[in-house]
């Protein structure tokens, strides 16, 4: 499956597995009026809101069955971002042995630009480290500059291009790779 990052400056990802026990929360930011934010494992009761965020974020959104299937997998981190108790984003990362993929990272349009996508990505990467993942990959639309800035800020580096990877509209995907610190693998 492809990594998805919201077309309008959001980010995609999902977290589950061991991250279910590693819940991260953040409070208000420096008194700037940002509502209390938390990150926690996704649960079935969140699916309706996750689907709304997904549909607002992507031209080809995942369906409920895709999300349901990921809730119980041990090789998936599936997290949600909450603002004042309301789900406003989700992130998914899955892995096989030492390789992981950020598969989906989305933040509701009205909640973008406040650091929620970065918090979700950081939580996904923390879960990947805890699972023994050494390398994380993702694909993103070449036009999504907000996602490119986010991923670059976390150390992801370009690996290649997948021509005509996305549809609706048709677009190339940029493939990125991150070597997780302390993984023992030499950095490029």
Q: Which residues are known catalytic residues? A: 139, 151
User: Which run of H or E residues covers position 139?
Assistant: strand 135-141
Instruction: List Cα–Cα distances, 70 to 13, 142, 174, in angstroms.
Output: 12, 27, 25
* CA 117 – CA 182 distance, rounded (Å): 23
Please check whether residue 157 is in contact with residue 175, taking contact to mean a CB–CB distance below 8 angstroms.
no
Q: Where would I find the beta strands (DSSP E) of 55-129?
A: 76-83, 86-96, 99-107
Q: Both tokens of residue 26?
A: 């953040």
Task: Give, as one character, the DSSP assignment of residue 187.
Answer: P
β-bridge pairing 76-83 and 86-96 = antiparallel
Which long-range contacts does 152-160 make (Cβ < 8 Å, 24+ apart)? 153/118, 154/118, 154/121, 154/122, 154/125, 154/178, 155/179, 157/188
């Amino acid at each position: 499956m492809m990594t998805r990052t919201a077309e309008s400056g959001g980010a995609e990802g999902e977290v589950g597995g061991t991250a279910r026990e590693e819940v991260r929360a953040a409070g208000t930011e420096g008194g700037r009026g940002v509502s209390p934010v938390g990150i926690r494992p996704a649960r079935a009761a969140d699916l309706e809101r996750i689907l709304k965020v997904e549909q607002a974020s992507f031209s080809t959104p995942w369906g409920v069955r895709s999300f349901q299937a990921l809730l119980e997998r041990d090789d998936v981190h599936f997290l949600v971002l909450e603002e004042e108790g309301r789900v406003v984003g989700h992130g998914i990362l899955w892995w096989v042995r030492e390789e992981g993929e950020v598969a989906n990272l989305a933040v509701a349009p009205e909640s973008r630009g406040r650091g929620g996508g970065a918090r979700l990505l950081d939580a996904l990467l923390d879960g990947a480290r805890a699972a023994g993942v050494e390398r994380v990959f993702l694909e993103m639309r070449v036009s999504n500059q907000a996602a490119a800035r986010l991923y670059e800020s976390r150390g992801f580096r370009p690996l290649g291009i997948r021509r005509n990877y996305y549809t609706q509209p048709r677009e190339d995907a940029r493939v990125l790779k991150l070597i997780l610190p302390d993984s023992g693998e030499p950095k490029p």
